[in-house]
Amino acid sequence: MSRRITWEDASCPIARAADVLAEPWTLLILRNATAGTTRFEDFRAQLGIADNVLTTRLAKLVDRGLLTKLPYRDGGRTRHEYRLTQAGSDALPVLHALGAWGDAHTSSENAYGPMNLVHKPCGALTRPGGRCDGCGQPLARDDLTWRGSWLSDGEIPLAEPVG
């Protein structure tokens, strides 16, 4: 399914961001990459996404500079991992804002629970933003984990960007 319109040259930064991030599956792929998923098979299994759609979205994320494609050997075959770039890593506040909005304004019988953000240095649950709700220290990406999410009952460290 191709889009009829592009906003890549729009004067509005929200429109340009939507041009990159607003396709179906894109934010979920970035969410899982942020949680450490790197391999095609794992994205497919975790998301339940069709191979052709996943192939297209991964290629677009690589083309737009949010993921990078790194080769690895699997037996006799060369395969690829998809790792966050700095641009992909910088989408973290968008993911946090969407998670907070979804917790506040949507519901589902299948909902796992709220998306908890943990400030590792003090262990407090916190909200996205500038400072930890528990200790008041500035929130840095390296000091955050996700807890009790759709992916795991434990804490999920956030993947570091490549490069």
26 and 81 share one domain: yes
Give the CATH number of the domain where residue 50 resides: 1.10.10.10
Which residue is it, tokens 């179906």? Answer: 24
Q: Is the residue at 38 inside a domain? A: yes
Global confidence as pTM: 0.88
DSSP secondary structure string, 75-120? TTEEEEEEEE-HHHHTTHHHHHHHHHHHHHH---TT-----EEEET
Range of the domain at 50: 13-85
Taking phi over 0 as left and psi of -120 to 50 as alpha, with beta for the rest, 74 belongs to: beta
143 and 94 share one domain: yes
105 and 125 share one domain: yes
2 confidence band (pLDDT: 50, 70, 90):
low
Whole-number Å distance between alpha carbons of 149 and 158: 13
Query: What is the arithmetic mean of pLDDT over 46-65?
Result: 97
pLDDT by residue (tens digit) across 128-150? Answer: 888 999 999 999 999 999 986 66
pLDDT at 109: 82
